[in-house]
Amino acid sequence: MQIGPRYKKARYLGAPVFTKTQTQKYAIRAQQKQKTTKRKRGKSEYGQQLMEKQKARYSYGVSGGQFSNYVKKALQATGDNAKNLIHLLEGRLDNVVVRAGFAPSRSAARQMVAHGHIVVDGKKVTIPSYQVSLGEKISIREGSKAKALFAKLDEELKASKAPAWLAVDPSTREIKVAGQPSAETNDLLFDVRAVLEFYTR
């Protein structure tokens, strides 16, 4: 997915939706930019909802069409629509890989999966959008463990903190889906309810 200048888009959306904008350097630049920028008129309700949709899309690195399909599935499924959408987005294999600390960004995780470095319950999966299920175990393919890509993984796993619904074993480099993702327990950068309202106007 082509994104363009990430700093500029993140400032426009008012949220650090890209990995490179989740740094102290970006925060300082954003503050300086805010001081020198004239105050803009408040957005309409539609404009605010559109912004939340864009934040969600960029947060997970999915195209407009993919995101629309996720929302459609969330609205068609039974239960709470917001929870359904979070389950679909957080349940992507590339998202699980980055949430667990196995990759520095979603783009890196997507490439990691697409190149066949990740296995689910012992089977190689090359589809980043693959939906993980409760109880599944995600690990590094045996033939990929010695690659430079994972040379510093042990150190990175010590520094990272996975969400409660993912059980990460640093010694075996294994991730187990131990629960269900929740909008309340994840650091979401967007308002999921506003996103759904945008699509149901």
Question: Which one of 39, 72, 87 terminates a domain?
Answer: 87
Residues 167 and 94 in one domain: yes
Residue 189 maps to a domain = no
Residues 20 and 77 in one domain: yes
Residues 37 and 82 in one domain: yes
Token pair 């693959």 is found at 130
101, 106, 109, 115: CA torsion to nearest 10: 180
Residue 33 maps to a domain = yes
Residues 82 and 28 in one domain: yes
Written as six digits, the tokens of 151 are: 């040379």
Residues spanned by the domain of 53:
6-87
Residues 134 and 167 in one domain: yes
Say which CATH number the domain at 95 has: 3.10.290.10
Residue 199 maps to a domain = no
Q: How many domains does the chain have?
A: 2
- pLDDT tens per residue, range 90-118: 999 999 999 999 999 899 999 999 999 99
Residues 114 and 50 in one domain: no
Residues 13 and 82 in one domain: yes
- pLDDT tens per residue, range 55-94: 899 889 899 999 999 999 999 999 999 999 999 999 999 9
**The pTM is what?**
0.79
Residues 99 and 168 in one domain: yes
Strand order in the sheet with 174-177: 123-124, 118-120, 137-140, 174-177, 166-169
Token pair 């990929």 is found at 144
Residues 62 and 98 in one domain: no
